[in-house]
Structure 1
Amino acid sequence: MASKILAFLLLFLPFELLHHSNAQSWIQSGFWRTNSVIAASEVNSALFTHLICAFADVDNSTYQLSIPSSDVSIFSNFTDSVKRKNPSIVTLLSIWAGQAQTYQSTFGQIPNSTVLSSMASQPSHRKSFIESSIKTAKLFGFHGLDLSWVWPSTASDLINLGTLLEEWRAAINSESRNSNKTRLILTMKVPYVPTLHSVSYPVDSIRRNLDWANVVAYDYYVSTRVNFTGAHAALYDPSSNISTDFGIREWTRKGLPASKLVLGLPYHGHAWRLVNPDENGVGAPASRSGLTSDGSMSYWYIKFYIRRFSNGAAKLYNATYVVNYYTFGANWIGYDDVETIKAKVSYAKEKKLLGYFVSQVSNDENGVLSLAAAQKDVEDNQNKRLLMIILLPIAMVIFILGFMLCYLRRWVLKSKGNESLSNSDAPNLQVFRFADIVVATNNFSIENKLGEGGCGPVYKAYDLWKDGKGMEFMDPSLDDEFSSCKLMTCMQVALLCVQEKPADRPSMLEVSSMLKNETAAMVMPKRPGFSIKTDEDERNNSGLQQVICSNEATVSQILPQ
């Protein structure tokens, strides 16, 4: 049994350890916008598996995708540009919500697309949108499409969204069959929780039709909405449900597998102005910051600001929320730095998510955060490989040793059995081994293994049988008021089969006869072979012992004179 377990581990361990290191099963995605401060060709695409070009708009009358003429060359060259540093990169075209207005939500004023809402509400509008999106993606060389409709505003919008995804996926599948080309990837951004105004997102449709969902796990708090310093991308929050961990657990509880979720990593932060500079932790009273118009700041600008005002400044890491924040006087900035990014990548792996996406690539400072995220992935894979390198040889050695010991044990027992028999005793050799069959057939447990000095189980069985205490050798579960006589008969037959002298061992036919006829007289066994003990009485005794069984289960013994 142990050898089977080790063999299983030997086969299973390498695949299990390398499972999550497969590049195809882990998404490292990044959003890049056409108005970014760095060109697409400057992005270190080697740090990503997927890059998403943002954004294409939706025409408010035709509901077809619309790309400004000034951006046409950027979109058409995007895939080729990012493939220069990573030929295997996969690119997607992201579709923006279009013309926006605002509505009041839990967090304040959030943009809502009236264009997408109108598009999704009518079959003809959906058809126009879907056909143009597929055509545009193919025309500009993208491998997939991403919908950036994060905040549908009504229950009808959410229902229509589910229908849109069903029809969109069907059209993509159809196009792939007809063109005999690779099917387009379909993804969309979703909020950190699957419920909006007590109405759930179409989780079933998302699960069936999206390759994955990009979870917007940031902007929980901004200075234009709340009057306290908020951890805008908190992984955990001990005081509320506004956290990434809570949102991920809600999505999976609603039925969306973790393998369909890609975790958002923000490359930006939010700033507040403290009411009291001495009270500067997460949740401290604060007001809108004057550092930027809306308090948001890119990571590279935050690092620039910290370097410029580093004297007397405090850069802190809060492990409870898993956030970084920086204070200088009354200014307070919350953001994700290297240690936070690494912690979130580890979290995504621990929760078996599909991967992560960054928003947005151009907000990084010389690729510091993207490199940290990618290195964390590499470190985890190296640790798994190291574990396999250590454990696999150990498992192999244990397996080989176990196999050798098992083989040696069988060889020794076989040798000892052969030593007791001459070449002319071949028929009786079968009788000697038949003792095992007799015992097993009658649910009787005598191990006829030879112990050192004649003290093995077989000799213990003989001594108990000789003293009339044979039932003490039996498993109690085998005994009842009607079976003890049969068990004693089996025990006597088994002892006869392991006699030292071949002539004293019954033939196969005699064994069968003794077992069938419980009232027949049987020869009294002598001490089994290979014992260092002697029994003078037995050596001189050739009498019979008769066991008679009745319905009352009484035992009569005729002892020799």
Structure 2
Amino acid sequence: MASKIIILVLHIFIFSESLPARAQTLIKVGYWDSGDGFPISDVNFALFTHLMCGFADVNSTTYELSLSPSDEEQFSNFTDTVKIKNPSITTLLSIGGGNNPNYSTYSSMSASSSSRKSFIDSSIKIARLYGFQGLDLSWNSANTSRDKYNIGILFKEWRAAVDLEARNNSSQSQLILTAKVAHSPLSTAAAYPVDSIRQYLNWVHVMTTGYSKPTWTNFTGAHAALYDPNSVSNTEYGITEWIEEGLSADKLVLCLPFYGFAWTLVKPEDNGIGAAATGPALYDDGLVTYKEIKNHIKNYGPNVRVMYNSTYVVNYCSIGKIWFGFDDVEAVRVKVSYAKEKKLRGYYVWEVSYDHYWMLSRAAAEEDNKNRQNKRLLWAIVLPITAACILLIGFLLYYFCWMKTLKLKAKASKDSANSQADAGDFNRTDPDLREYSLADIEAATDRLSIENKLGEGGYGPVYKGVLPDGQIIAVKKLSKTSTQGFEEFKNEVMLTAKLQHLNLIRVLGFCIDTQEHMLIYEYMPKRSLDYFLFGMCLTA
């Protein structure tokens, strides 16, 4: 028994050892833009599980994917490089997320079945031609509610075409389908339909950043804060809305924005969150990459103080009249931990070239690894303790059963000895008394069946039986609930054996096998007492 428990515990331990880590691993997606001059070979491939190659665009006339000669070279180089550097990475071609895409073309493309077919067929063809394993639509949201409806149809037809292509081309795995979506399904009337996403896409990349254009007089809600007490435009709100609308958490991939915003302060000394500003700084829209922010801080020397605000999950610093709000290592760690806590599919980086010496990407990967290591550590502690407890319980049960078996054997041996001694006492009193075994009695009475039961008194039930030689007997069985003990039973046997008389039913023997106490009589036919008291005398 103990050996079986040990085998069971070892099986549970071996099966479960890697399960928590595998189940909790996030996908780590990085967007790479072929147009920003950052070589794909410079990517730290160890930090990602998926890489998005951007960006293909749609031809406004044919509605097919439009690739320039430069794009063709970049896309081919992208997949070749990834295969060499890290073949375990999954590559996807992202469509429509480049600089100033003409989204009215996407609206027209989704409006008719023929234009959708042109787009779908060309996207699958180009994905296979350049070795991509999936396709991503980076048009964040439709322009109108009509576009929203058409995009839902596009997703359905795209999935059907991908399924058909996979069946006809069994040598390659089915293409993955993803899309970039607004931070909330309720953010606009034209946000992508949840039902279509759930049924036809593998997952979506949620734009949990830049929720609304800053007012420049208040920084609240202008950046990618997880929690914002003064606005519903935050990550927690958006993710919750997607889930409440019916999209499972494992369909959602959280954005890690590797950029921030710069504002021009009204007063340099008034530089906290919510301080007054006259407008954006450095660029027209105020958007600054993390790499640029770090270089800007470095150029102004060690006196620049960077602060992390845990309420808004954002880092900020002020340099003269310029105020920066951005994600740094602390904010990234919090967001990855948040994705784990919410059981999201993973996180994505927008964009890999914005990072500074891979500081943010490393922080994200390390946070994911730390969580998985904590899970492993927890299981490494819990499983041995559980196994030890199970073994202890098993050994206690084994010991208990072993001791009980020994006691039963000892009792049986004692009972056997007592039976033999008692049988000797009975035989010394009357040598003609026969000792019957329980097997003899059960065979004669058909296992003391109810059909053979003659009646029952305070002593116990009486059964009719037939011995192998044809002799009919009556078996008087001591009931388990009877107040008569073994001594009384013994005395009755001896007394009845001595008082043999013409008008008394003769005792043939006894049974004291297996703690049973039975008297075996000669069977008395159903006649009146007068017959036995007088009729037999007259006959005699």
TMscore range, shorter length:
0.7 to 0.9
In structure 1, give the amino acid aligned to 2:198.
R
Going from structure 1 to structure 2, the CA distance change for 1:306 and 1:519 (only over 3 Å counts) comes to farther
Match of 2:331 in 1: 340
Name the SS for the 2:179 alignment partner: strand
Match of 1:283 in 2: 274
Match of 1:83 in 2: 83
Match of 2:137 in 1: 147
Match of 2:52 in 1: 52
Deviation at 1:253, TM superposition (A): 0.6
Alpha-carbon distance in 2 for matches of 1:14, 1:165:
41
After superposition, give the CA deviation of every residue in 1:194-228 in whole Å (9 maximum; x if it has no partner): 124345531111011111101111112454x5432
Deviation at 1:520, TM superposition (A): 3.7
Name the SS for the 1:41 alignment partner: helix
Alpha-carbon distance in 2 for matches of 1:372, 1:70:
33
Deviation at 1:391, TM superposition (A): 2.1
Aligned with residue 156 of structure 1, among 136, 139, 146 = 146
Match of 2:249 in 1: 258
Going from structure 1 to structure 2, the CA distance change for 1:182 and 1:426 (only over 3 Å counts) comes to farther
In structure 2, give the amino acid aligned to 1:86.
N
In structure 2, give the amino acid aligned to 1:121.
A
Alpha-carbon distance in 2 for matches of 1:246, 1:8:
45
In structure 1, give the amino acid aligned to 2:350.
S
Deviation at 1:318, TM superposition (A): 1.1
- 8 Å contact from structure 1 (residues 45, 83) kept in 2: no
Alpha-carbon distance in 2 for matches of 1:21, 1:187:
25
Deviation at 1:99, TM superposition (A): 9.4
Alpha-carbon distance in 1 for matches of 2:125, 2:272:
51
Aligned with residue 309 of structure 2, among 276, 295, 318 = 318
Name the SS for the 1:297 alignment partner: strand
Match of 1:61 in 2: 61
Identical positions, percent: 45
In the TM superposition, 1:65-464 aligns within 5 A as: 65-96=65-96, 113-180=103-170, 181-198=172-189, 201-223=192-214, 225-231=215-221, 232-422=223-413, 425=416
Name the SS for the 2:288 alignment partner: strand
Deviation at 1:236, TM superposition (A): 1.3
Alpha-carbon distance in 2 for matches of 1:20, 1:348:
16
Number of positions where the alignment pairs a residue of Structure 1 with one of Structure 2? 449
Alpha-carbon distance in 1 for matches of 2:187, 2:393:
59
Gap regions ≥5 residues in structure 1:
101-110, 429-502, 529-536, 545-561
In structure 2, give the amino acid aligned to 1:412.
M
Deviation at 1:427, TM superposition (A): 13
In structure 2, give the amino acid aligned to 1:219.
G
Going from structure 1 to structure 2, the CA distance change for 1:156 and 1:72 (only over 3 Å counts) comes to same
Deviation at 1:263, TM superposition (A): 0.7
Alpha-carbon distance in 2 for matches of 1:5, 1:411:
16
Alpha-carbon distance in 1 for matches of 2:168, 2:449:
78
- 8 Å contact from structure 1 (residues 274, 332) kept in 2: yes
After superposition, give the CA deviation of every residue in 1:505-550 in whole Å (9 maximum; x if it has no partner): 9999699789x9675434698999xxxxxxxx98976699xxxxxx
In structure 1, give the amino acid aligned to 2:197.
I
Deviation at 1:65, TM superposition (A): 0.4
Alpha-carbon distance in 2 for matches of 1:7, 1:158:
57
Deviation at 1:91, TM superposition (A): 0.8
- Greater displacement, 273-282 / 288-297: 273-282
- 8 Å contact from structure 1 (residues 126, 164) kept in 2: yes
Match of 1:464 in 2: none
Taking structure 2 as the reference length, the TM-score comes to 0.75
- 8 Å contact from structure 1 (residues 526, 539) kept in 2: no
Alpha-carbon distance in 2 for matches of 1:289, 1:372:
28
Going from structure 1 to structure 2, the CA distance change for 1:513 and 1:233 (only over 3 Å counts) comes to same
Going from structure 1 to structure 2, the CA distance change for 1:538 and 1:87 (only over 3 Å counts) comes to closer
- 8 Å contact from structure 2 (residues 147, 190) kept in 1: no
Name the SS for the 2:336 alignment partner: helix
Aligned with residue 521 of structure 1, among 459, 464, 474 = 459
- 8 Å contact from structure 1 (residues 214, 261) kept in 2: yes
Deviation at 1:265, TM superposition (A): 0.5
In structure 1, give the amino acid aligned to 2:135.
L
Match of 1:29 in 2: 29
Match of 1:43 in 2: 43
Gap regions ≥5 residues in structure 2:
420-434, 461-477, 493-540
In structure 2, give the amino acid aligned to 1:35.
G
Deviation at 1:56, TM superposition (A): 0.6
Alpha-carbon distance in 2 for matches of 1:112, 1:326:
36
Taking structure 1 as the reference length, the TM-score comes to 0.72
- Greater displacement, 371-380 / 309-318: 309-318
Alpha-carbon distance in 1 for matches of 2:4, 2:458:
45
Name the SS for the 1:397 alignment partner: helix
Alpha-carbon distance in 2 for matches of 1:265, 1:287:
27
Deviation at 1:271, TM superposition (A): 1.1
Name the Cα RMSD after superposition.
3.5
Larger radius of gyration between Structure 1 and Structure 2: 2
